[in-house]
Amino acid sequence: MPSICIYGAGAIGGYLGAKLATTQADVSLIARGPHLAAIRDKGLTLIEEGQTHNATITATDNPAELGVQDYVIVTLKAHSLPAVVKPMQHLLGPKTAVVFAVNGMPWWYFHGLEDPYGERRLESVDPEGGIWEGIGPQRAIGCVVYPATEIAEPGVVMHRSGNRFSLGEPNGERSERVAAFASLMNEAGLKAPVRPRIRDEIWIKLWGNASFNPISALTGATLAQIANDPQTRALVATIMAECQAVGESLGARFAVDIDKRIAGAEAVGEHRTSMLQDLDAGRPMEIDALVGAIQELGVLVDLPTPSLDTVLALVKQRARLAGCYD
Protein backbone atom coordinates (compact mmCIF):
# COMPACT_ATOMS: atom_id res chain seq x y z
CA MET A 1 0.00 0.00 0.00
CA PRO A 2 1.69 3.25 -1.10
CA SER A 3 1.88 6.04 1.46
CA ILE A 4 1.06 9.59 0.37
CA CYS A 5 1.34 12.72 2.48
CA ILE A 6 -0.24 15.93 1.22
CA TYR A 7 1.76 18.84 2.56
CA GLY A 8 -0.57 21.83 2.72
CA ALA A 9 -4.14 20.58 2.92
CA GLY A 10 -5.87 23.76 1.77
CA ALA A 11 -8.38 23.83 -1.07
CA ILE A 12 -6.33 21.89 -3.65
CA GLY A 13 -4.59 19.74 -1.05
CA GLY A 14 -7.88 18.89 0.61
CA TYR A 15 -9.44 18.01 -2.74
CA LEU A 16 -6.55 15.68 -3.53
CA GLY A 17 -6.72 14.15 -0.06
CA ALA A 18 -10.42 13.41 -0.30
CA LYS A 19 -10.07 11.89 -3.78
CA LEU A 20 -6.97 9.81 -3.01
CA ALA A 21 -8.59 8.53 0.19
CA THR A 22 -10.91 6.48 -2.04
CA THR A 23 -7.93 4.47 -3.36
CA GLN A 24 -5.68 1.80 -1.90
CA ALA A 25 -3.18 4.44 -0.76
CA ASP A 26 -2.46 5.32 2.86
CA VAL A 27 -3.18 9.07 2.79
CA SER A 28 -2.26 11.67 5.38
CA LEU A 29 -2.45 15.47 5.51
CA ILE A 30 -0.32 18.27 6.88
CA ALA A 31 -2.70 21.07 7.80
CA ARG A 32 -3.03 23.80 10.41
CA GLY A 33 -5.45 25.99 12.33
CA PRO A 34 -9.23 25.60 12.26
CA HIS A 35 -9.04 23.47 9.09
CA LEU A 36 -6.86 20.91 10.87
CA ALA A 37 -9.08 20.94 13.96
CA ALA A 38 -12.20 20.33 11.86
CA ILE A 39 -10.60 17.47 9.89
CA ARG A 40 -9.53 15.80 13.13
CA ASP A 41 -12.97 16.24 14.67
CA LYS A 42 -15.31 15.49 11.76
CA GLY A 43 -13.16 14.17 8.92
CA LEU A 44 -12.56 15.85 5.58
CA THR A 45 -15.69 16.67 3.59
CA LEU A 46 -15.69 17.14 -0.19
CA ILE A 47 -18.63 18.69 -2.03
CA GLU A 48 -18.46 17.71 -5.70
CA GLU A 49 -21.13 17.72 -8.41
CA GLY A 50 -23.87 18.16 -5.82
CA GLN A 51 -22.67 15.18 -3.80
CA THR A 52 -21.12 15.29 -0.33
CA HIS A 53 -18.42 12.82 0.62
CA ASN A 54 -16.68 12.52 3.97
CA ALA A 55 -13.34 10.81 4.55
CA THR A 56 -11.55 9.97 7.77
CA ILE A 57 -7.91 10.88 7.10
CA THR A 58 -4.92 11.18 9.40
CA ALA A 59 -4.17 14.88 9.76
CA THR A 60 -1.47 16.66 11.72
CA ASP A 61 0.66 19.78 11.82
CA ASN A 62 3.73 17.74 12.78
CA PRO A 63 5.35 15.71 9.96
CA ALA A 64 7.42 13.79 12.52
CA GLU A 65 4.23 11.93 13.50
CA LEU A 66 3.88 10.41 10.03
CA GLY A 67 7.29 9.00 9.14
CA VAL A 68 8.78 8.26 5.74
CA GLN A 69 6.40 8.35 2.76
CA ASP A 70 6.44 6.95 -0.77
CA TYR A 71 5.08 10.23 -2.12
CA VAL A 72 4.77 13.73 -0.74
CA ILE A 73 2.45 16.07 -2.64
CA VAL A 74 3.29 19.70 -1.95
CA THR A 75 0.28 22.00 -2.41
CA LEU A 76 1.68 25.11 -0.77
CA LYS A 77 2.36 28.44 -2.43
CA ALA A 78 5.88 28.80 -3.75
CA HIS A 79 6.99 31.39 -1.20
CA SER A 80 6.13 28.95 1.60
CA LEU A 81 8.51 26.23 0.40
CA PRO A 82 11.78 27.34 2.05
CA ALA A 83 10.17 27.24 5.50
CA VAL A 84 8.99 23.62 5.17
CA VAL A 85 12.26 22.08 3.96
CA LYS A 86 13.42 21.24 7.49
CA PRO A 87 10.17 19.74 8.86
CA MET A 88 9.66 17.81 5.62
CA GLN A 89 12.82 15.79 6.31
CA HIS A 90 10.75 13.48 8.55
CA LEU A 91 8.79 12.37 5.47
CA LEU A 92 11.73 11.76 3.16
CA GLY A 93 13.38 8.39 2.69
CA PRO A 94 15.87 7.26 0.03
CA LYS A 95 13.10 6.61 -2.53
CA THR A 96 10.53 9.26 -1.59
CA ALA A 97 9.25 11.25 -4.59
CA VAL A 98 7.94 14.77 -4.08
CA VAL A 99 5.19 16.00 -6.41
CA PHE A 100 5.25 19.79 -6.57
CA ALA A 101 1.66 20.91 -7.29
CA VAL A 102 2.75 24.52 -6.95
CA ASN A 103 1.96 27.45 -9.24
CA GLY A 104 4.75 29.38 -10.89
CA MET A 105 8.23 28.69 -12.16
CA PRO A 106 9.49 25.60 -10.31
CA TRP A 107 12.73 25.70 -8.34
CA TRP A 108 13.85 22.48 -10.06
CA TYR A 109 13.39 23.93 -13.58
CA PHE A 110 16.97 23.33 -14.77
CA HIS A 111 17.34 19.84 -13.27
CA GLY A 112 17.83 17.21 -15.93
CA LEU A 113 18.49 19.74 -18.70
CA GLU A 114 21.64 19.86 -20.77
CA ASP A 115 24.21 22.63 -20.68
CA PRO A 116 24.63 25.55 -20.74
CA TYR A 117 21.94 25.82 -18.05
CA GLY A 118 21.72 22.28 -16.68
CA GLU A 119 21.39 22.09 -12.87
CA ARG A 120 21.30 25.88 -12.55
CA ARG A 121 19.37 27.24 -9.56
CA LEU A 122 16.76 30.00 -9.57
CA GLU A 123 17.43 32.55 -6.88
CA SER A 124 13.98 34.14 -7.16
CA VAL A 125 12.17 30.95 -6.11
CA ASP A 126 14.92 29.14 -4.19
CA PRO A 127 16.98 31.72 -2.30
CA GLU A 128 20.48 30.41 -1.57
CA GLY A 129 19.51 26.99 -2.93
CA GLY A 130 17.84 25.86 0.28
CA ILE A 131 15.16 23.75 -1.42
CA TRP A 132 17.62 22.26 -3.91
CA GLU A 133 19.96 21.17 -1.13
CA GLY A 134 17.31 20.26 1.45
CA ILE A 135 14.87 18.26 -0.68
CA GLY A 136 16.92 17.47 -3.77
CA PRO A 137 15.90 17.88 -7.42
CA GLN A 138 16.17 14.12 -7.96
CA ARG A 139 12.99 13.72 -5.88
CA ALA A 140 10.94 16.23 -7.88
CA ILE A 141 7.98 15.35 -10.08
CA GLY A 142 6.44 18.32 -11.88
CA CYS A 143 2.70 18.94 -11.68
CA VAL A 144 0.44 21.50 -13.35
CA VAL A 145 -2.79 22.05 -11.42
CA TYR A 146 -6.06 22.84 -13.23
CA PRO A 147 -8.99 22.25 -10.82
CA ALA A 148 -10.78 25.17 -9.19
CA THR A 149 -11.58 24.48 -5.54
CA GLU A 150 -12.20 26.45 -2.38
CA ILE A 151 -12.53 25.90 1.35
CA ALA A 152 -16.23 26.42 2.06
CA GLU A 153 -15.61 26.24 5.82
CA PRO A 154 -12.99 24.52 7.99
CA GLY A 155 -12.89 20.85 7.09
CA VAL A 156 -15.06 21.30 3.98
CA VAL A 157 -13.67 21.61 0.44
CA MET A 158 -15.89 22.57 -2.49
CA HIS A 159 -14.89 21.50 -6.00
CA ARG A 160 -15.85 24.00 -8.69
CA SER A 161 -14.39 22.66 -11.92
CA GLY A 162 -11.64 20.63 -13.52
CA ASN A 163 -9.91 17.43 -12.44
CA ARG A 164 -6.64 17.41 -14.37
CA PHE A 165 -3.19 17.33 -12.78
CA SER A 166 -0.59 17.01 -15.54
CA LEU A 167 2.56 15.22 -14.35
CA GLY A 168 6.10 14.97 -15.64
CA GLU A 169 9.61 13.99 -14.67
CA PRO A 170 12.16 16.81 -15.12
CA ASN A 171 14.14 14.59 -17.54
CA GLY A 172 11.02 13.69 -19.55
CA GLU A 173 11.13 9.97 -18.81
CA ARG A 174 8.03 7.93 -18.01
CA SER A 175 9.58 6.54 -14.86
CA GLU A 176 8.11 3.77 -12.76
CA ARG A 177 7.41 6.21 -9.92
CA VAL A 178 5.52 8.76 -12.03
CA ALA A 179 3.56 6.03 -13.83
CA ALA A 180 2.54 4.47 -10.49
CA PHE A 181 1.51 7.84 -9.10
CA ALA A 182 -0.52 8.66 -12.22
CA SER A 183 -2.27 5.31 -11.87
CA LEU A 184 -3.27 6.16 -8.28
CA MET A 185 -4.60 9.54 -9.42
CA ASN A 186 -6.62 7.83 -12.14
CA GLU A 187 -7.97 5.35 -9.60
CA ALA A 188 -9.13 8.37 -7.58
CA GLY A 189 -11.14 9.65 -10.56
CA LEU A 190 -8.61 12.31 -11.53
CA LYS A 191 -6.96 12.93 -14.88
CA ALA A 192 -3.19 12.65 -14.55
CA PRO A 193 -1.51 12.58 -17.97
CA VAL A 194 2.25 12.04 -17.85
CA ARG A 195 3.92 14.59 -20.11
CA PRO A 196 7.35 14.10 -21.69
CA ARG A 197 7.73 17.90 -21.79
CA ILE A 198 6.14 19.12 -18.56
CA ARG A 199 7.94 22.49 -18.78
CA ASP A 200 5.91 23.39 -21.88
CA GLU A 201 2.70 23.04 -19.90
CA ILE A 202 4.18 24.96 -16.97
CA TRP A 203 4.96 27.85 -19.33
CA ILE A 204 1.44 27.88 -20.82
CA LYS A 205 -0.14 28.25 -17.39
CA LEU A 206 2.52 30.67 -16.21
CA TRP A 207 1.96 32.75 -19.34
CA GLY A 208 -1.41 33.84 -18.00
CA ASN A 209 -0.35 34.08 -14.36
CA ALA A 210 2.60 36.37 -15.14
CA SER A 211 0.41 38.84 -17.01
CA PHE A 212 -3.13 38.75 -15.65
CA ASN A 213 -2.25 38.29 -11.97
CA PRO A 214 -0.12 41.40 -11.39
CA ILE A 215 -2.41 43.57 -13.51
CA SER A 216 -5.40 42.38 -11.51
CA ALA A 217 -3.62 43.12 -8.23
CA LEU A 218 -2.75 46.62 -9.43
CA THR A 219 -6.20 47.45 -10.82
CA GLY A 220 -8.65 45.28 -8.88
CA ALA A 221 -10.00 44.01 -12.20
CA THR A 222 -11.27 40.52 -12.98
CA LEU A 223 -9.95 38.39 -15.84
CA ALA A 224 -12.85 39.42 -18.07
CA GLN A 225 -12.43 43.11 -17.27
CA ILE A 226 -8.72 42.99 -18.12
CA ALA A 227 -9.33 41.08 -21.35
CA ASN A 228 -12.20 43.32 -22.46
CA ASP A 229 -10.35 46.60 -21.99
CA PRO A 230 -8.28 47.30 -25.14
CA GLN A 231 -5.36 48.85 -23.26
CA THR A 232 -4.96 46.22 -20.54
CA ARG A 233 -5.54 43.46 -23.12
CA ALA A 234 -2.70 44.94 -25.20
CA LEU A 235 -0.46 45.04 -22.12
CA VAL A 236 -1.23 41.39 -21.37
CA ALA A 237 -0.32 40.48 -24.96
CA THR A 238 2.96 42.41 -24.73
CA ILE A 239 3.95 40.70 -21.47
CA MET A 240 3.03 37.33 -22.93
CA ALA A 241 5.21 38.00 -25.99
CA GLU A 242 8.14 38.79 -23.70
CA CYS A 243 7.52 35.61 -21.69
CA GLN A 244 7.25 33.52 -24.84
CA ALA A 245 10.57 34.83 -26.15
CA VAL A 246 12.26 33.88 -22.88
CA GLY A 247 10.62 30.46 -22.77
CA GLU A 248 11.45 29.62 -26.37
CA SER A 249 15.06 30.65 -25.85
CA LEU A 250 15.18 27.97 -23.15
CA GLY A 251 13.64 25.36 -25.44
CA ALA A 252 9.97 25.62 -24.44
CA ARG A 253 7.26 25.07 -27.05
CA PHE A 254 4.03 27.05 -26.88
CA ALA A 255 1.19 24.97 -28.29
CA VAL A 256 -1.30 27.85 -28.44
CA ASP A 257 -0.89 31.44 -29.57
CA ILE A 258 -1.26 34.58 -27.47
CA ASP A 259 -4.75 35.47 -28.68
CA LYS A 260 -6.06 32.01 -27.86
CA ARG A 261 -4.45 32.09 -24.40
CA ILE A 262 -6.04 35.48 -23.66
CA ALA A 263 -9.39 34.23 -24.95
CA GLY A 264 -9.14 31.28 -22.57
CA ALA A 265 -8.66 33.60 -19.61
CA GLU A 266 -11.47 35.85 -20.82
CA ALA A 267 -13.82 32.87 -20.99
CA VAL A 268 -13.31 32.23 -17.27
CA GLY A 269 -15.27 35.44 -16.74
CA GLU A 270 -15.48 37.63 -13.66
CA HIS A 271 -12.80 35.77 -11.76
CA ARG A 272 -10.54 37.55 -9.28
CA THR A 273 -7.02 36.19 -9.60
CA SER A 274 -5.28 34.53 -6.67
CA MET A 275 -2.84 37.44 -6.43
CA LEU A 276 -5.69 39.92 -6.08
CA GLN A 277 -7.41 37.70 -3.51
CA ASP A 278 -4.19 37.47 -1.50
CA LEU A 279 -3.76 41.26 -1.59
CA ASP A 280 -7.32 41.84 -0.41
CA ALA A 281 -6.89 39.30 2.40
CA GLY A 282 -3.49 40.66 3.48
CA ARG A 283 -1.74 37.38 2.67
CA PRO A 284 1.76 36.99 1.16
CA MET A 285 1.59 37.31 -2.63
CA GLU A 286 3.12 34.91 -5.19
CA ILE A 287 5.09 37.60 -6.98
CA ASP A 288 8.49 35.94 -7.29
CA ALA A 289 7.34 32.56 -8.62
CA LEU A 290 4.78 34.01 -11.05
CA VAL A 291 6.60 37.10 -12.32
CA GLY A 292 10.06 37.61 -10.80
CA ALA A 293 11.39 34.25 -11.98
CA ILE A 294 10.66 35.16 -15.60
CA GLN A 295 12.59 38.40 -15.18
CA GLU A 296 15.50 36.36 -13.77
CA LEU A 297 15.36 34.00 -16.75
CA GLY A 298 15.23 36.95 -19.15
CA VAL A 299 18.47 38.28 -17.69
CA LEU A 300 19.98 34.79 -17.94
CA VAL A 301 19.25 34.48 -21.67
CA ASP A 302 19.94 38.17 -22.34
CA LEU A 303 16.41 39.01 -23.51
CA PRO A 304 14.76 42.26 -22.36
CA THR A 305 11.35 42.10 -20.66
CA PRO A 306 10.52 45.81 -20.25
CA SER A 307 6.75 45.55 -19.81
CA LEU A 308 7.04 42.66 -17.38
CA ASP A 309 9.77 44.56 -15.50
CA THR A 310 7.53 47.61 -15.12
CA VAL A 311 4.53 45.65 -13.91
CA LEU A 312 6.76 43.66 -11.56
CA ALA A 313 8.19 46.83 -9.99
CA LEU A 314 4.69 48.26 -9.51
CA VAL A 315 3.13 45.14 -8.01
CA LYS A 316 6.08 44.67 -5.64
CA GLN A 317 5.60 48.24 -4.38
CA ARG A 318 1.85 47.70 -4.02
CA ALA A 319 2.42 44.46 -2.12
CA ARG A 320 5.06 45.93 0.19
CA LEU A 321 2.83 48.84 1.13
CA ALA A 322 0.06 46.36 1.94
CA GLY A 323 2.39 44.17 4.02
CA CYS A 324 2.05 41.29 1.55
CA TYR A 325 5.63 41.08 0.29
CA ASP A 326 9.02 41.22 2.02
The answer to whether residue 205 is catalytic is yes
Q: How many CB atoms lie within 10 A of CB 51?
A: 8
The C-alpha atoms of residue 174 and residue 2 are separated, in whole angstroms, by: 19
Are 282 and 219 contacting, i.e. CB atoms less than 8 angstroms apart?
A: no
User: DSSP letters of 172-223?
Assistant: ----HHHHHHHHHHHHTT-B-PBPTTHHHHHHHHHHHHHHHHHHHHHH---H
User: DSSP letters of 31-86?
Assistant: --HHHHHHHHHH-EEEEETTEEEEE--EEES-GGGT---SEEEE-S-GGGHHHHHH
150: amino acid identity, one letter: E
Active-site pick, 95, 205, 260, 316: 205
Are 179 and 205 contacting, i.e. CB atoms less than 8 angstroms apart?
A: no
196 Cβ contact list (under 8 Å, min separation 6): 168, 172, 173, 174
Q: What is the set of active-site residues?
A: 205
